[in-house]
Amino acid sequence: MELNRRGLLAATPLLMTVAEAQAQGITPRRGGTLTTMLTPEPPVLQIGVNNQGPTIVIGSKMFEGLLTFSPTLEPIPVLAKSWTISPDGKEYVFRLQENVKFHDGRPMTADDVIFSVMKFHTELAPRARAIFALIDTAEAPDPHTVKFTLKQAFEPFLLMFDVSACGIVPKHLFDGLDYRTAPVVQRPVGTGPFRFAEWQRGNFVRLERFSDYWRPNQPYLDAIIYRIVPDSQSRRLAIETGQAQLTQANDIEPFDVPALRARPNLEVAVNGWEYFSPVSWIELNHRVAPLNDVRVRQALSMAVDRNFIAQRLWFGVGKPATNPVASTTKFHDRNVRIAGFDVRAANALLDAAGFRANAQGVRFTLKHLVLPYGEIWSRLAEYLRQAFRQVGVTLELESTDAGNWARRIGAWEYETSVNFVYQFGDPTLGVERTYVTSNIQRVTFTNTGGYSNPRVDELFARARSVPAAADRQAAFTDVQKILCEEVPQIWLMEMAFPTIHDRRLRNVVTTGLGVHTGFGDVFLAS
């Protein structure tokens, strides 16, 4: 067995935040209630049963994973205090923290970890199911040790143990029940620094300090209140006036960020998304002509000014995408880039492809299903309509609600739309699913576009199976080259979302998961 010390060393940044505060004469203060917001209101708060963004934001205060990750994706201990990896990359042994209790007072043991991995998340989450299927055996040599033996080496295995992918749940409250309808789903029980207290639907969720939390002296806060505020301008007013001390994710529209940056009592952070690394793109249905023509896709991509989108629509919150793998995701190759903004070249390419403009200057018409997640996406759709008009393509905008948008994308009932997905630190975990033939499904967030290239399938399979990072890099570089040439989707931005908070609130963003952590070390300075 070979000790992996990265996790132990990577713990330093979390510890240093408190030390740095003390060095500045700021002693972490116990007490106080943090008021923040949750947008939109999720159907349930149980991580695993629901893995949408709002559930993860609030659930990560109640649940914990074995690990979390630094901004450079180095593992940091949480419920696992250390781990070892065998030289052949097949055996992972986690030593668990001791004296960890669930919110109902029962101790957390290795049995809970094995249940969470092998049963709970494997049944509920397609992403977890695909990866945890690689586990040959899961054993508990003692109550504080878990050993996973894989069928084959899988280099990104550790990335599956953050709270958003595999929060540890209490076996005694789920085993033998329907995981989606078990009574505990309505009043979640985890090991995190905060426990569920109250949920008035449509109004607020209140979490309270867990007095038996395993980290000494944490959490500092007495409570966290998540208010449900549907209107974006009301959310902005709440953070401006001090009614709330924190906004996160898509609480604030990007065009409101500059004004909030100027307020001396507020701090705006756009880091803390390195693990998720969402990339947005124009979703293309390859079953719809002429989107099945690579020259058309290349031309439409060149018609888009990504710098305009990043600076004029998102006001610098995020940056232009350069290829399908985000620059903050492992194995991104900065030397592989999509063709840049060039309207003249785009028009020439469409001419050469035989799509001549009619007397009105129109080559063809496409329908565009507007992403219904706030005003910014409507503004983006309007920009895309103007951009495509410059190359003789008419974009007809269609509006719908979030539920119907997801249904139509999953049912392939669209021509174009906009989408974004998380990459989870490694292309095998978050990029592959969009482009491999085997994942063409009538399910949202799969390869709904219908793109298929046997060579791409082969390269993703190789990157999944080889243990050496250098071999994986070679495969992923070749994938990025092919995708940038064939443009199965039109990548727009490496997205980030602003975390805006009162300057008195400390330690808000300290890892690559940003606000999706426990907040045990967050405090309100006096």
Question: For 455-487, what is each residue's pLDDT tens digit?
Answer: 999 999 999 999 899 999 999 999 999 999 999
Q: How far apart are CA 165 and CA 163, in angstroms?
A: 5
For residues 215 and 15, the answer to whether their CB atoms sit within 8 Å is no
311: which DSSP letter?
I
- The closest of 192, 198, 226, 181 to 103, measured between CA atoms, is 192
State the burial class of residue 356 (Cβ atoms within 10 Å of its Cβ: 0-12, 13-18, 19+).
exposed
Give the integer Cα–Cα distance in Å for 465 and 479: 15
Closest CA to 451 of 423, 476, 477, 479: 479
How does DSSP classify residue 47?
A: B
- Taking a C-beta distance cutoff of 8 angstroms, is the pair 423, 332 a contact? no
Low-confidence ranges of the chain (pLDDT < 50): 1-17, 23
pLDDT score of 13: 40
- Give the per-residue pLDDT at 15: 42
Domain 279-495 in the same topology as domain 2-187+498-524: no
Q: What is the DSSP string of 155-218?
A: TTGGGGGSHHHH----HHHHTTS-TTT-GGGGS---SSSEEEEEEETTTEEEEEE-TT-SSTT-
Please calculate the CA angle 45-400-186 and round it to the nearest 5 degrees: 15
Backbone phi, psi, residue 102, to 5°? -75, 165
The class level of CATH for 279-495 reads alpha beta
| pLDDT given at position 20 | 53
Q: What is the pLDDT of residue 190?
A: 98
Name the amino acid, one letter, at 136.
D
- Helix residue spans in 262-396 (DSSP H): 294-302, 306-308, 343-352, 375-389
Whole-prediction pTM value?
Answer: 0.88
Range list of β-strands (E), 105-150:
135-142, 145-150
Q: Return the structure tokens found at 21.
A: 């505060």
- What's the CA angle centered on 135, arms 55 and 1, to 5 degrees? 110
What pLDDT score was predicted for residue 22? 52
Output the pLDDT for position 6: 38
Hey, what are 325's tokens?
Answer: 């793998």
Per domain, the residue ranges of the chain are 2-187+498-524, 279-495
Structure tokens at 211: 């007095």
Under DSSP, the state recorded for 21 is: H
The residues that bridge with 139 in the sheet, in sequence order, are 147
Q: What is the pLDDT of residue 21?
A: 52
Cβ neighbours of residue 119 under 8 Å, at least 6 residues apart? 175
Q: Out of 3.30.460.10, 3.90.76.10, 3.90.700.10, 3.40.250.10, select the CATH number for domain 2-187+498-524.
A: 3.90.76.10
DSSP assignment letter at 101:
B
Extract the runs of DSSP E, i.e. beta strands, from 21-142: 33-37, 67-69, 75-77, 80-85, 91-96, 135-142
